[in-house]
Structure 1
């Protein structure tokens, strides 16, 4: 009500993208991820203005906003498409109980903080490994600089089409990231009495039914990021991670 009293139009999230040519998002990476979830299906590009600490995804630093606004108003924005993940949760009978998507990562995590979760991973139809861990992160190249990076995963250029599988605090000799072709189906299933959930970009959590599993594949619809200049990924990494 306070916003509306000052002449600001307030929309429900489901109607946020209606009539938009461009979404300008004020905040950090988390805010941009939440905004992307509201506009992706409408194919609306997102331009982030960094008000956060790291702000890897936003295009504009807050001190540069005044200079950027006229260019945004004139539509001087190039579009960069970023790969997403499609996620399906199934029950023990194979029936889909939930579907969603992620831009950064889908993290299959333990439900109980006092116990590990044992996860059976199948890649391209081949039973690959049972991984006892706190979680297993399935990340896009965009997400390679986020949660997966903090868990020891590699940084991938967003120009590469790949999916990363990164264990978190693995209690086995195998604790390395696996780089997967997006065309290879990926299935993660809790083993035996393990119980888990899947967290999507930190904005949504889905419970995995007992005896069920999670299927992850390349998303059919990318997220469109707006750029005011040619995007230099390696310069962005250098600047944000203070590399010398």
Structure 2
């Protein structure tokens, strides 16, 4: 889903989320911060990102998103996912800057930063919304004991590498299958090109609303993906005795699943918003990423 550009204002507040471990990202962030400040924009950075500039106000991660008009992400897809967790709940659109490793979430190249600055401060961009997942961990009595969300995927996975785990998958209230497997991945269309793809899941257009359920290395005759409506709830629970597992959201946070407990995955309450300077060519990006001819 996409929407109109934000209304121009004389003083934009622009956040920068930076992969501080890469010198090229820090250099690009410093240049962007100074160019933004020259336009009169207020520049905000994340404390702990290992870069700073006199033109930027540094905030703690929990306070970063407040009052931002847009956040520019300088790094790879991992940095973009971290930025999404910082600003989703404030509805701040994200604009990704690619640093040479082609990803699926970046929008522009480093060389395009000067032109990007002018368009951002003018409010000259469209906003695209990407579906997210809400992830609940429940105990054996159905009580909620943990909650998170994901832009790419929720992965229910074993904690003992030497052992298989048996996971029962339910769609709605009906059991679909019990799978001896390494993990079960529940992915959004955005996440269909990430972990789910490496487990031989399908590629979904980001225009599709769906949840992809992919078994990882199943020891079963059934090794196929299922695609469910996002208004259906997917429940995954360990069965057959000692099946210790966790649920990982975008590789960022792991929540333990208790004995007799379960993980419920459903459409997220809020989307992640992405700022687009030009229409996103998803199929062209797939061709580039995988070297298709």
Instruction: Quickly name the TM-score band, shorter chain normalised.
Output: over 0.9
How far off its partner does 1:9 sit? 2.2
Is 1:96 aligned with 2:144? Answer: yes
How far off its partner does 1:240 sit? 2.0
Superposed CA deviations along residues 1-20 of structure 1, whole A, max 9, x for unmatched, are 98568454221111010110
How far off its partner does 1:182 sit? 1.1
CA distance in 1, matches of 2:223, 2:82: 30
Alignment partner of 2:285 out of 220, 224, 236: 236
CA distance in 2, matches of 1:61, 1:173: 45
CA distance in 2, matches of 1:212, 1:232: 41
Is the Cα contact below 8 Å between 1:3 and 1:10 reproduced in 2? no
Is 1:140 aligned with 2:191? Answer: no
Mapping of 1:89-238 within 5 angstroms? 89-191=137-239, 192-238=241-287
CA distance in 2, matches of 1:94, 1:187: 12
CA distance in 2, matches of 1:108, 1:223: 22
User: Which one scores higher on RCO, CA 8 angstroms, separation ≥ 6?
Assistant: 1
For residue 61 of structure 2, what is the aligned residue in structure 1? 13
> Stretches of 4+ moved more than 4 A in 1?
1-7
How far off its partner does 1:135 sit? 0.6
1:119–1:21: structure 2 CA closer, same or farther, 3 Å change rule?
same
Q: How well do the aligned residues superpose, as a CA RMSD in angstroms? A: 1.5
1:231–1:4: structure 2 CA closer, same or farther, 3 Å change rule?
closer
Instruction: Report SS of the residue matched to 1:87.
Output: strand
Give unmatched runs, 5+ long, in structure 1.
Answer: none
What's the TM-score, normalizing by structure 1?
Answer: 0.95
Instruction: Report SS of the residue matched to 1:10.
Output: strand
Superposed CA deviations along residues 107-129 of structure 1, whole A, max 9, x for unmatched, are 00101111111101111211111
CA distance in 1, matches of 2:258, 2:106: 36
Give unmatched runs, 5+ long, in structure 2.
Answer: 1-46
1:46–1:197: structure 2 CA closer, same or farther, 3 Å change rule?
same
